[in-house]
Structure 1
Amino acid sequence: MDTEMVGDSKSTKRPTLGDINGVLFPSDMINGWGPIWNFRARSDDLLICTYPKAGVEKANARASPRTLKSHLPIQLLPPSFWKQKSKIIYVARNVKDNVVSYFHFHRMNKTETEPGTWEEFLEAFIAGKVSCGSWFDHVHGWWEAKDRHPILYLFYEDMKENPGREIQKVADFLDVQLPESVLNQIAQHTKFECMKANPMTNYTTLPSSLLDHTISPFMRKGTVGNWKEHFTVVQSEQLDDLCAQLLKGTGLTFRTEL
């Protein structure tokens, strides 16, 4: 259930945003919402979910066990995932690096809406008026659900700091025994630099009418703290205040530098 790329590969016209239960999505996804909502999960599915720059029919046809990915907020996840008790891995990234990455993703991705200037995009992002809605609602909703469902909640910053440790968490969650040699191999192959150079993961095989890598690479920096090159002091303090206000009492804390 890939809800990341749903645009028409022949079209270069950017979409508009529509509303699904108060959350904004590109028009193509709005038009195809029925099959997504009615998606039939399986008990042995593994769903990887993130906030963005955190083909339903094709997914249905795949043999089990399936690894699926989605950017849906928790309230819009197809109900069959809860019914089947499918395992879910959620990866959260600090809001400042997330919004910078999402801004550049909009700049190069013709299947997303026009981002406008950095200042305009940041304002829309804070207001939740971007595809997939509010970052605050997204990370908080999945955080609350982890105590009721089989959800492994990971942080991007932890993965950058110690990938071996986080891969072991995933292995434990999936009840998989990993010899140290295999764990080290996985850590090596999933390094940002390796994935950025791999056509199977860097999306360079897609036409420039969809993703224009001359504007910005699909995999751009992959660092923690790149937000400092974009934020003014006032903007940084605004996000700090919002995090303190909107995540207060949740137990959710994010690191904006390592």
Structure 2
Amino acid sequence: MLTPVHYNTKSNQMSLPPRPQLFDFHGVPMTRYFTDNWENVQNFQAKPDDILIATYPKAGNTWVSHMVDLLHFGTESSKNQTSPLIYHKIPLLELNFTPIQPESPNAPSVFKGTEMLEKITTSPRIIKTHLPLKFLPKSIWEQNCRIIYVARNIKDSVVSLFHFERMTFMHPEPGEWTSYLQRFLEGNIVFGSWYDHVNNYWEKKQTYSNIHYMFYEDMIEDTGREFDKLCSFLGLSPSAEEKKDILSCVMFENMKKNNKVNYSAVKGMDYKMSSFMRKGKVGDWINYFTVAQSKEYDEDYKKKMKNPTLTFRTEI
């Protein structure tokens, strides 16, 4: 049974429940918020036109989800004040969360990714996940669904995830920075090893043609170029005007200000700690890593990143 978010009605202040415990789940560290609906996740019935957007946490999933949503359903729907929030339109498949106070009258009383997806009537359904490859429902493969995977370099990933874990109650407390760096290298965090995550999807891409593998750094460097590649993968041909409009909408600063996209309505995040959308940069890690820590990560990377065809940039 999940612990819901409580509110102090006198002060209208949110009282966060205790942080969940990390536990081994079929070889991957997880918390109950992502495993309590597991049977339904594994039995999820995909449709042939479903689009799955998979990433390690804090690697650009919301960014690409917003882009794909605008490509299929247009920018006017996003600007409409009554349009759903992005995480209602594009649910996290594995999520199982029960808030006490709904964020709005139309919000689900229970956030179960599988149930939210079953209620979507528009096509294609866009599905968000942070699950490692081995945990994806078998129907994804049976239906030959298109998968968009976004990978981000390890140093910026750990910085971004550290700040996120400081502000979200659905992950364990991150602790102090130095020990967190070590736990990240060991893969002892929610959704497991960064190395396993990025490598396994890359290897699957070699035998499963319906995976489009993107890099966060490439998107920052030239969003328009990567947008064109994404359109080609999806078989879409937006006009020059549509492309310009979408690229404007998905600029980081515009997304950060867009309450439909920036997760500001989510109950259960401590925005005094950090915003959900923080900086959206490549190379911010240099503001956090010491020289010794950077060297340790470089040496660990050389040992564990065995596939020479998968390369990352930590600056552009």
Instruction: Output the TM-score relative to the length of structure 1.
Output: 0.94
Q: How does 1:13-24 map to 2 (within 5 A)?
A: 13-24=18-29
Question: SS state of the match for residue 31, structure 1?
Answer: coil
- Counterpart CA distance in 1 for 2:159 and 2:262 is 18
Count of residues in Structure 1 that have an aligned counterpart in Structure 2: 251
Is 1:124 aligned with 2:129?
no
1:249 Cα offset (Å): 3.0
What is residue 224 of structure 2 aligned with on the other side?
164
Counterpart for residue 211 of structure 1: 269
Shift of 1:101: 0.2
Which structure is richer in relative contact order (CA contacts within 8 A, separation 6 or more)? 2
Q: How has the CA–CA distance of structure 1 residues 30 and 18 changed in structure 2, closer, same or farther, with 3 Å as cutoff?
A: farther
Question: In structure 1, how many angstroms separate the alpha carbons of the residues matched to 2:204 and 2:139?
Answer: 15
Percent identical pairs in the alignment equals: 44
- Per the alignment, residue 28 of structure 1 pairs with 33
Deviations for 1:43-65, whole angstroms, at most 9, x for unmatched residues?
10001010001121111221231
Using the alignment, how far apart are the partners of 2:137 and 2:287 within structure 1? 38
Alpha carbons 2:40, 2:114 under 8 Å: kept = yes
Question: 2:306 & 2:294 partners in 1: Cα distance?
Answer: 18
Of stretches 129-138 and 6-15 in structure 1, the one that deviates more from structure 2 is 6-15
Give the conservation status (yes or no) of the 8 Å contact 1:91–1:155: yes
Q: Find the residue that maps to 1:90 and give its secondary structure.
A: strand
The residue that corresponds to 1:252 in the other structure is 310
- Counterparts of residues 169-248 of structure 1 (less than 5 Å): 169-207=229-267, 210-248=268-306
Q: Does 1:104 align with 2:163?
A: yes
Shift, 1:237, TM fit: 1.0
* C-alpha displacement of 1:177: 0.8
Structure 2 residue identity aligned to 1:252: L
Distance of 1:28 and 1:205 partners within structure 2: 19
The 3-state SS of whatever aligns with 1:120 is helix
Larger deviation, residues 142-151 vs 21-30: 21-30
Q: How is 1:28-107 mapped onto 2 (pairs within 5 angstroms)?
A: 28-54=33-59, 55-63=113-121, 64-107=123-166
Matches within 5 A, 1:131-170: 131-149=190-208, 150-170=210-230
- Which structure: larger Rg? 2
- Using the size of structure 2 for normalisation, the TM-score is 0.77
1:111 CA displacement: 1.4
Residues 177-227 of structure 1 deviation map (CA, whole Å, 9 limit, x = unaligned): 1222211211111011111111111111123xx111111111111100000
User: Which sections of structure 1, spanning at least 5 residues, go unmatched?
Assistant: 1-5
Q: Distance in 2 between matches of 1:88 and 1:152?
A: 6
Match of 2:73 in 1: none
Residue 122 of structure 1 and its aligned partner are, at CA, apart by 1.0
* 1:19 and 1:30 in contact (8 A); partners too: no
Gaps spanning 5+ residues in structure 2: where?
7-15, 60-112
Structure 2 residue identity aligned to 1:192? F
Q: Distance in 2 between matches of 1:241 and 1:106?
A: 25
Task: Kindly indicate whether the alpha-carbon contact (under 8 Å) linking 1:140 and 1:250 is maintained by their aligned counterparts in 2.
Answer: no
Question: Separation in 2 of the partners of 1:175 and 1:7?
Answer: 43
CA contact (8 A) 2:155 2:314 kept: yes
Distance across 2 between alignment mates of 1:117 and 1:253: 29
Q: Residue type of the partner of 1:30? A: T
Q: Distance in 1 between matches of 2:36 and 2:242?
A: 43
**Further displaced range: 221-230 or 26-35:** 26-35
Q: CA deviation at 1:106?
A: 0.3
